Amino acid sequence: QELANQRCWKAEESVLVSVLSSCTNLGALDLGRSAHGFLIKNLSGLNVIVETSILDMYLKCGSLVKGLTIFERMKVKNQWTYSVMISGLAFNGYGTEALRVFSEMIEKGFEPDEVVYVGVLTACSHEGLVEKGLDFFNNMKVDHKIKPIIQHYGCLVDLMGKAGKVKEAFDLINNMPMEANEVLWYSLLNAC
């Protein structure tokens, strides 16, 4: 607030993104709302990086309606914007909507990365879409040349476990190219 009262203060993008990131990491929605309001009042326009940071803050703080509103109103979106939106929806249990945004991302010509696929596979898990999840996993490897990371395998174990495919999940863990961590084993045990 003190900085806002000084007429000579000029907002640097990196500072603004850091403030929003801090609000996100603390889960400080009220503080994040204040920062958002400050940005709207004091900047002539927000670029895609700042807008995506605002979007990320709202989604990770559980304010999905506000996040959706911001996403829909954004004039410019980039790969990171779509990644934030897909993950935010998926991790808050809105798998179908996350997959819709993923389709939009692909239609717009953006290339998904491993983070996007964590969101996509999480969305499939929340919706119980076993075959679709396995298809996405294979497309990720074949079409996009993305080497699976442990989080991708974790999503698949969760997906299969929720669908009652415990043996398949166990086999997946045993055949992974990396050592399974506690999260994967917990996910498998949780399915039993």
Query: Where do the domains of the chain lie?
Result: 1-76, 78-192
What is the assigned CATH class of domain 78-192? mainly alpha
Q: Return the percentage of the chain with pLDDT > 90, whole number.
A: 70
Question: How far, in Å, are 64, 84, 122, 167 from residue 68 at the CA level?
Answer: 6, 11, 19, 38
What is the C-alpha to C-alpha distance for residues 80 and 70, in angstroms, rounded to an integer? Answer: 14
Q: Are 43 and 73 in contact (CB under 8 A)?
A: no
pLDDT of residue 96: 97
- pLDDT of 12: 66
The DSSP symbol for 68 reads: H
Tell me the pLDDT tens digit for each residue of 131-168: 999 999 999 999 999 999 999 999 999 999 999 999 99
pLDDT greater than 80 at residue 109:
yes
pLDDT at 3 exceeding the cut of 70 = no
Least confident of 22-26, 153-157, 174-178: 22-26
Query: Does the reported pTM lie above 0.95?
Result: no
Q: Determine whether 52 is exposed, middle or buried from the number of CB atoms within 10 Å of its CB (0-12, 13-18, 19+).
A: buried
